[in-house]
Chains A and B, each alone.
Chain A
Amino acid sequence: MDADGPTDLAAFRDEVRTWLREHDPGEPPPLDTVEMRDWSAAWQRLLFDSGWAGIDWPTEYGGRGLSFLEQVIWFEEYVQSGLPVGHSCFVVALAHAGPTLIARGSEAQKAQYLPPILRGEHVWCQGFSEPESGSDLASLRCRADIDGDTMLVNGQKVWTSYAHLADFQELLVRTNPDAPKHRGITWVICDMHTPGIEVRPIRTIDGGAHFSEIFYTDVRIPLENVVDEVDNGWSVAMSTLAIERGPAALDYQLGTLRDIDALVDVAKQRNLLKNEELASRLAAVRAEGAALRSMTYLSASESKSGAAPSPMTTAVRTFWGELQHKTARLAIDVLGPDSLELGIWSEYWLTQFSAGIAGGTKDIQKNIIGERALGLPR
Chain B
Amino acid sequence: MRIKLTEQQRDVGVVASRFLEEKVPLTRLRELADDAEAGKSVLAIEESTWASCAALGWFALGIPASAGGVGCGPVEEVILFTELGRHLAPGPYLPTVMAGWVATAAGEGALATDLFEGRRRAGLEVGRFVQDGEPGGFVVSVNGTTLELCEIRSSVPVPSVDGSVPLSMGAKGAPLATVNDAQLRARAQLLASAMELGIARATLDMSVAYAKVRMQFDKPIGTFQAVKHRCADMAMRVHAAQAQTLFASFQVESRAPDAPFHAAAAKTIATKAAKLNTADNVQNHGAIGFTVEHDAGLFARRAHMLEYCLGGDTVAASTLLAASQHRFETLPPAPAEWFDRSRTA
Contact = CB atoms under 8 A, between A and B. Distances in A.
Interface stretch (B138-146, B153-161, B180-188, B227-235): B227-235
A294 interface: yes
Given A80-B328, A290-B261, A315-B235, A374 B243 contact: no
Given A80-B328, A283-B268, A291 B317 contact: no
Interface string B321-334: 10111111101111
A301 B338 contact: yes
Interface string A292-323: 11110110111000000000100110110000
A289 interface: yes
Given A283-B320, A287-B268, A377-B219, A295 B328 contact: no
Interface in A65-89: 68-69, 72-73, 76-77, 79-80
A366 B232 contact: yes
A371 B231 CA distance: 10
Contacts of A80: 327-328
Contacts of B333: 1
B244 interface: yes
Given A1-B2, A297-B247, A76 B225 contact: no
A59 interface: no
Interface in B177-213: 208, 211-212
Interface string B241-265: 1111011100000000000011011
Contact of B320 (A73, A286, A374): A286
B243 A294 contact: yes
**Residue from A316, A363, A376 with most neighbouring chain B CB atoms (10 Å):** A376
A260 B316 CA distance: 17
A214 interface: no
Interface in A332-375: 363, 365-367, 369-371, 373-375
A9 interface: yes
A37 to B, nearest CB: 29
A378 interface: yes
A68 B269 contact: no
A297 B235 contact: no
B274 to A, nearest CB: 14
A279 B317 contact: yes
Contacts of A290: 244, 247, 261-262, 265, 269, 326
A302 B332 CA distance: 15
B30 interface: no
B126 to A, nearest CB: 19
Given A293-B326, A297-B338, A370 B220 contact: no
Interface string B100-122: 00000000000000000000000
Contact of B331 (A6, A68, A294): A6
A279 B231 contact: no
Contacts of A286: 265, 320-321, 323, 326
Interface in B287-345: 313, 316-318, 320-321, 323-329, 331-339, 342
Contacts of B220: 376-377
B264 A287 contact: yes
Contacts of A295: 239-240, 243-244
Contacts of B229: 363, 366-367, 370
B2 A367 contact: no
B317 A283 contact: yes
Contacts of B325: 258, 261, 264
A26 interface: no
A5 interface: yes
Contacts of B41: none
A165 interface: no
Most chain-B CB neighbours within 10 Å: which of A287, A295, A315? A287
Contacts of B318: 283
A166 to B, nearest CB: 32
A72 B269 CA distance: 23
A289 B225 CA distance: 27
A270 to B, nearest CB: 14
Contacts of B342: 298
Contacts of A298: 239, 242-243, 246-247, 335, 338-339, 342
Q: How large is the interface on B (under 10, 10 to 19, 20 to 34, 35 or more residues)?
A: 35 or more
A236 interface: no
B339 A377 contact: no
A273 interface: yes
A266 interface: no
A77 B327 CA distance: 10
Contacts of B262: 290, 294
Given A283-B320, A284-B268, A374 B328 contact: no
Interface in A25-65: none
A127 to B, nearest CB: 28
A41 B52 CA distance: 66
A292 B244 CA distance: 8
B330 to A, nearest CB: 10
B319 to A, nearest CB: 8
Nearest to B240: A291
B228 A300 contact: no
A367 B225 contact: yes
A224 interface: no
A6 B333 CA distance: 9
B233 A366 contact: yes
A298 B248 CA distance: 13
Contacts of A284: 268, 272, 317
B222 A376 contact: yes
A293 B335 CA distance: 12
A257 interface: yes
A301 B333 CA distance: 10
B270 to A, nearest CB: 9
A366 B338 contact: no
A350 to B, nearest CB: 24
What 3 pairs across the A-B complex have the smallest Cβ distances? A301-B335, A283-B317, A76-B328
17 contacts: A1-B331, A80-B327, A287-B264, A290-B247, A290-B265, A291-B240, A292-B240, A294-B248, A295-B244, A312-B239, A315-B239, A367-B228, A367-B232, A369-B236, A370-B228, A374-B231, A376-B231
Given A297-B247, A376-B212, 6 more contacts: A1-B337, A283-B320, A287-B320, A292-B240, A312-B239, A367-B228
Interface of B: 1-2, 208, 211-212, 219-220, 222-223, 225, 228-229, 231-233, 235-236, 239-244, 246-248, 261-262, 264-266, 268-269, 272, 313, 316-318, 320-321, 323-329, 331-339, 342
